[in-house]
Chains A and B, each alone.
Chain A
Amino acid sequence: MKFLRVNMTTQTVQYQDVPDAYALVGGRALTSFMVSEEVPATVDPLGAENKLIFAPGYFSGTSLINTSRLSVGAKSPLTGGIKESNVGGTVAFSLAKLGIKAIIVEGKAPSDNYFVLNVEDENTASLILATQLVGERTYATTKKLHKDFGAGKSITCIGPAGEMQLLSASIQSTDLDGRPCRAAGRGGLGAVMGSKGLKAIIVDRRGKMPPELIDAEKFKKASKRYAKDVRADEFSGEILGEFGTAILVEPINAAGGFPTNNARMGQFDGVEKISGETIARVIKERGGKNKHKGCSQCIIDCSNEFVTKEGEYVTSSLEYETIWSMGGMIGNDNLDAIARLDFLCDDIGLDTMNTGAALAVAFDAGYREFGDFEAAIALVEEVAAGTEMGRLIGNGPDSVGKHFNHSRVPTVKGQSIAAYDPRAIQGMAVTYATTPMGADHTAGWVVDQNLEAFGGTVNARGSKGQVEISRDTQIHMAAVDTVGICDFAQSGLATEAGIGNVFAMMSAKSGQNYGQEEWTELGKLVIKVELEFNRQAGFTSADDRLPPMFYNEPLPPYNVVVKVSDAEMDSTFDF
């Protein structure tokens, strides 16, 4: 496989052999190792010295299901630390099938010049001036690029938010229908892409490069067993296809962990109007699509297609986190407005979570009433228009809080929390506070341990055992994000036999012995490298804290605050 290095300053591209040190990793390990190696930790994230790295997971391009995950890494302009944000769609599989292990974008184009990178095959790529795309939203960008370069291409692009280098700017990527509805949303990586003058990456989807496997037969057998387990599991085999990730709305709300009205409450009165069950029914009645395949190689189909009452397309992959951020978090129970806001964020190129939380902070500060979805839509439109208020929203909750001198800002390291209140599910307090990524639920999702088995295998509203489960999950997830398995296909590795299949595939692909010890060491190494980058960037343990609102304000209905102490937080990564 090859690296594709793209220098935006000189507008040159170069294919390179992959150094041995990177041969046996992909995804998050690859982006974090390379950022740590090649980007000085103190650089301006929007300057020429930062690098933006796109890396398919280690298993992307193989026969294993649900492995079309692309990790995007850089120094984040939102958090000021290292960032990995991953996205599904078709791009990771397509790049792997062209034999490309990573695209490394460096330098910076002369200001106001925007280019598209056209990746045609394992030897041919070029930068093309794309003046006609400046200011275009992502759906229009994708449409134009499909017209000019071919309808079958995978497109990864930014919208106006990325061009304006706003801190909540996402990188959007096309799904199997060619719509830019999949997002590497977190950390403002769209702003990094915008700062480089890169509007889009076009990737040919016809690559046929066989995966590099030392023992192809062993890999095939283990990947089949893995797929069988994912199909057999009720959640991944049935529930996600029928309801999507929105199925989480009701149980998280029941647990009092659905942050509502800027996390003033843990339960939302309007929950039934926006629940997974309701969304699935509405989509069905209107002739939209439940059980929609969003990503290459997927057998779960958690995506959906939301339509108007008249049956017209509104948005795709309307997910739990967005239903929260544009729903309960801003006090909005209007499902059509949530879907519209999801579409607008995808189209303008914005992280739905950071944007919803920014709106929530503005509403909380009295700028508008909670529940005013028309104001929310108008404000998100203002982001694209580049008004002063639009830029505040587009720069995320911290910027809004500062503007209104309002202290209730639910962020860690500048990034908003996700759809789980850390007071009601205290394992998430540990993950949000300590992950090198800023408040990021995917870095260590411990909601199941906090709620299942009738109230959790740990006490969700206490601190005992939370550090341990968050630590173990964060280490595990650093390895999962390296191989590039979709979070929702983790049912395949939930049992001892299941994780054994992953180890068998690691051995079969790398030719090295692989077991639990190696897996854990890989996860630990990724986190250590990320923590060291952040330390050099100036982070201290004081940054591994939640904002005061979570320690001081009891959350109804349980009226609890975060109980995990600073010392406990600081013991999370004691390896």
Chain B
Amino acid sequence: MQVHVKLYGTLPKLYLGDYPKTGLDVAAWQGLTVAELVQLVPLPHNQVAIVSINGFLAKAADAVPQNAQVKFFQPINGG
């Protein structure tokens, strides 16, 4: 099973390796959680704070479905 992961903000720069502009195809397994998926991607993991799957926000314990379109976002600040 595979999932597709896109990185936002400065995450592409922080990615350890060459980040393809179209995103990453990550080999995954049935029952893989969001928290586990984050660990699979070579990044400073504290820089991933918000994850969406197929257009919906995901919790750390949520399972990642097959062929999911996943987005990683950094901590945000504003006002």
> Contacts A250-B73, A460-B57 hold; do A454 and B50 have CB atoms under 8 A apart?
yes
State whether B74 touches A239 (Cβ < 8 A): yes
- Of the candidates A243, A255, A441, A460, the one whose C-beta lies within 8 Å of that of B9 is A243
Residues of A within 8 A of B60 (CB): 453-455
- Of the candidates B50, B58, B79, the one whose C-beta lies within 8 Å of that of A452 is B50
Q: Which of A204-249 contact B (CB under 8 A)?
A: 234-236, 238-239, 242-243, 245, 247-248
State whether A255 touches B57 (Cβ < 8 A): yes
Residues of B within 8 A of A267 (CB): 55
Chain A, residue nearest B48 (CB): A454
Whether a CB of chain A sits under 8 angstroms from the CB of B77 is yes
Main secondary structure of the interface of B (DSSP, over half): loop
Complex-state Cα separation, A2 to B50, whole angstroms: 47
Residues of B within 8 A of A454 (CB): 34-35, 49-51, 58-60
Closest chain B CB from A268 CB (angstroms): 12
State whether A477 touches B9 (Cβ < 8 A): no
> Contacts A242-B10, A454-B59, A557-B56 hold; do A251 and B50 have CB atoms under 8 A apart?
yes
Whether a CB of chain B sits under 8 angstroms from the CB of A448 is yes
State whether B55 touches A251 (Cβ < 8 A): no
Contact size class for A? 35 or more
- Of the candidates A235, A250, A256, the one whose C-beta lies within 8 Å of that of B71 is A250
Chain A, residue nearest B14 (CB): A234
Whether a CB of chain B sits under 8 angstroms from the CB of A490 is yes
Closest chain A CB from B27 CB (angstroms): 22
State whether A442 touches B57 (Cβ < 8 A): no
State whether A442 touches B79 (Cβ < 8 A): yes
Complex-state Cα separation, A453 to B73, whole angstroms: 11
Residue of B9, B49, B56 ringed by the most chain A CB atoms within 10 A: B9
State whether B78 touches A248 (Cβ < 8 A): yes
Complex-state Cα separation, A471 to B38, whole angstroms: 33
Residues of B within 8 A of A276 (CB): 9
Closest chain B CB from A67 CB (angstroms): 15
Complex-state Cα separation, A267 to B9, whole angstroms: 19
Residues of B within 8 A of A256 (CB): 56-57
State whether B76 touches A451 (Cβ < 8 A): yes
State whether A254 touches B77 (Cβ < 8 A): no
Whether a CB of chain B sits under 8 angstroms from the CB of A491 is yes
State whether A448 touches B47 (Cβ < 8 A): no
Whether a CB of chain A sits under 8 angstroms from the CB of B20 is no
Closest chain B CB from A420 CB (angstroms): 9
Whether a CB of chain B sits under 8 angstroms from the CB of A59 is no
Residues of A within 8 A of B77 (CB): 235-236, 448, 487-488, 490-491
Q: Which of A469-494 contact B (CB under 8 A)?
A: 477, 487-488, 490-491
Per-residue B-contact encoding for A435-460, CB less than 8 Å = 1, 0 else = 00000011001011001111100001
Residues of A within 8 A of B55 (CB): 254, 267, 557
Residues of A within 8 A of B56 (CB): 256, 557-558
Chain A, residue nearest B71 (CB): A254
State whether B76 touches A447 (Cβ < 8 A): yes
- Of the candidates B9, B57, B79, the one whose C-beta lies within 8 Å of that of A490 is B79
- Of the candidates B51, B57, B76, the one whose C-beta lies within 8 Å of that of A247 is B76
> Contacts A452-B50, A557-B55 hold; do A235 and B76 have CB atoms under 8 A apart?
yes
Whether a CB of chain B sits under 8 angstroms from the CB of A320 is yes
Whether a CB of chain B sits under 8 angstroms from the CB of A382 is no
Complex-state Cα separation, A453 to B57, whole angstroms: 11
Complex-state Cα separation, A447 to B49, whole angstroms: 12
State whether B50 touches A254 (Cβ < 8 A): yes
Complex-state Cα separation, A452 to B79, whole angstroms: 15
Chain B, residue nearest A243 (CB): B9
Chain B, residue nearest A477 (CB): B79
Complex-state Cα separation, A558 to B56, whole angstroms: 8
Whether a CB of chain B sits under 8 angstroms from the CB of A277 is yes
Complex-state Cα separation, A9 to B60, whole angstroms: 63
- Of the candidates A239, A447, A448, A491, the one whose C-beta lies within 8 Å of that of B10 is A239
State whether B50 touches A447 (Cβ < 8 A): no
- Of the candidates A254, A320, A455, the one whose C-beta lies within 8 Å of that of B78 is A320
Chain A, residue nearest B6 (CB): A250
Per-residue A-contact encoding for B57-79, CB less than 8 Å = 1, 0 else = 11110000000000101111111
Closest chain B CB from A350 CB (angstroms): 21
Q: Which of B32-58 contact A (CB under 8 A)?
A: 34-35, 47, 49-52, 55-58
Residues of A within 8 A of B8 (CB): 247, 250-251, 277
> Contacts A250-B73, A256-B57 hold; do A453 and B49 have CB atoms under 8 A apart?
yes
Complex-state Cα separation, A256 to B57, whole angstroms: 8
On B, residues with C-beta under 8 Å from A are 8-10, 34-35, 47, 49-52, 55-60, 71, 73-79
On A, residues with C-beta under 8 Å from B are 234-236, 238-239, 242-243, 245, 247-248, 250-251, 254-256, 267, 276-277, 320, 441-442, 445, 447-448, 451-455, 460, 477, 487-488, 490-491, 557-558
Extra 6 A-B pairs, beta carbons < 8 Å, given A267-B55, A453-B60, A455-B57: A235-B76, A236-B77, A239-B10, A248-B76, A251-B76, A452-B50
